[in-house]
Structure formats: C-alpha cells, structure tokens
Amino acid sequence: MPDLRYIVHNKIEYWGFRLFLITMKSLPRQLSRAIILGMFQLVGYRIGIRREVARLQMSKVLIDRTSAQIRLLLRSMYRNMALSTYESLLLTNEQILAISSEQGIIHAKSALELGKGALIATAHFGSWEAARVLPALGIPLAVVAKTQRNVYFDDYNNRVRESNGVVVIDMKKALRGITEQLRLNKMVAILVDQNAGSKGLVMDFLGYPASHWKGVAKMSLRLKVPIVPTFALRTPEDKLIFRFEPMIYHPDWEDTEANILHVMQEIDTILESYIRQYPEQWFWVHKRWKHSFDMFKESN
C-alpha cells in the first residue's frame, strides 16, 4: 500500500499543476504562451536545469558549431520545449489541427493498406505530443508510454492523449498491447531515441556509441509489419508539419541480430538527418549516451 505522505505529496503536486493550467487557460492565448516561454527561458536557460547536459552533448555532436552558436541553439531548444508544452497542455485538438499540416501521409496510408498495422518510429523531436491529433487525419493511432511517477499526472496526460481516439499502451505491457493494436490495423508510435541502459543494443548514434531499444526493429521483422518514421516538425512560423517518411519494410527477413541491427541503422540514419538539420528541435537534455559513452569526460 502506498505511503500516505507519498499520496498527499502527489496530490498536492497534481492540484498545483491543475491550478496553473486553469490560470493559463483563463488568460488570452498569446499571454499564456508568453508566460510559458518566459518560464522555460528562466528555469531552463538562465537557471540552467539540464542546460550543461544539453550544452556538452551539443558541443560533442555539432563539432562545426562555435560556442556562441551552441548558446543560441540552447535558447532555441528551450523555446521549442516551451512551445511544445504550451501546445500539448493548453491547446485543444482543433487548435493544434489549425496550425498543422502533413507531408507524406501517403506513406502511412500505404503501410496500413497492407492490413497488418504499422509501427511509427518517432522521437522527442519538435512537438511530439501534438501527434495525438493524427486520428483526425485518418491515422488510427496507439502510443507506447512510460508510466510517470505521479499517477495523477499520468492519468491526466493519458486522458489528453486519448481525447482524439488515441490508445495508450503501458510500456510495461508493451508487447501484448502493441500486438493487439496491430491486429486492429492501427499504427503504434514508439519513441526510439531513449537510452536503453546496459542491456540495449549499442551502436553508433550521432558519432558516438549509444544504447538502443531494439524492440521496434525486432517486432517489425518478427510480425512482418512496416515501420514508418514520423516526426512533428516545427516550422520557422511556429506551425507544425507531421512528416511521414517512406516505410522501412523487409517482409522476407528473419529477426536475426544482424537484421535487427540493419533496421535500427535505417531508423537512426533518418532520425540523425532530422537532428542535424533541426538541432534545436531535439531533446538534448536527455543523457542519450549515459550507459555506453562518457560524453562528459572532457569539458568543452
């Protein structure tokens, strides 16, 4: 049974959060947007929550950028995080759709026409939570999500995700949940840019060895379903583009380690191209190389 103090702490946290949301929603949209932008610049860039982690990782990967350029990228990264938070928490599905367009949705629909369902390989990039509106574009969607520490936050976030018909799959029960949704010919979104720890598949990512969750490749090969890399890209005008890449599909391949590695490399190649082209839109505050390479051994 959970400790009473733990429950009370979580409830206080949650209701403080809800009060903040109610306050923000009562304000004109441009004002609430400006407040959230200011908060992220203050807490993230000025005070420096995870700023040094992001700076060091950027400096190691983006070796052609000067220190001044890295600082500008950091500011832009926190700005993107702020706008993504604003969009996911304060905008309705209709408001998100009003600022969104799609490119390459034919790739997703072609994958679904195979009748086996499909996997979406995506990342903490752009405004990834805004993808909850994809069912309105004709994409039946399920997402794999990790349970958050605070169960009240978790329930709230899942209700928001489900508000447009998205099915949320608990990561702890991912295999069964993914299989069930694929049988219903849905697309299942999986984040592929998270550190997989000591048991993950270690391979190059942005020039350094990184531990990968290989489940998306293994399931694609074992179940003979396509993978469609998909990203919620932010434009310079702060619009969103849901960009679907051509499917990765090898129905004749077995799920050998060599084939799994090959599929993961295909996914990484696409993801890396997005990160290098739009570095400010990736979640650099995550310690992506934590279990495979010491990115912080030498300071820049």
In whole angstroms, give the CA distance from residue 10 to residue 136: 33
Amino acid at 183: R
Torsional sign, CA 260, 142, 115, 96 = negative
Q: Cite the DSSP H helix spans in 27-167.
A: 29-40, 51-61, 67-90, 93-98, 105-112, 151-162
Tell me how far apart the alpha carbons of residues 151 and 170 are, in angstroms, rounded to a whole number: 13
Evaluate whether residue 296 is within a structural domain: no
User: Does any domain span residue 220?
Assistant: yes
**Which residue reads 């807490």 in tokens?**
43
Query: Which structural domain range is residue 188 located in?
Result: 4-277
SS3 content of the chain, % helix, strand, coil (to 5): 55, 15, 30
- Tally of residues, the chain: 300
pLDDT at 216: 97
Q: What is the pLDDT of residue 299?
A: 46
- 194: in domain: yes
Low-confidence ranges of the chain (pLDDT < 50): 299-300
Q: Is the sign of the CA dihedral 267, 285, 24, 83 positive or negative?
A: negative
The answer to whether 96 and 57 are in contact (CB under 8 A) is no
Closest alpha carbon to 119 in 215, 222, 191, 188: 188
The answer to whether residue 136 is domain-embedded is yes
Q: Are 126 and 120 in contact (CB under 8 A)?
A: no
pTM for the structure as a whole: 0.93
Total number of domains in the chain:
1
Candidates 85, 73, 128; CA nearest to 284 is 73
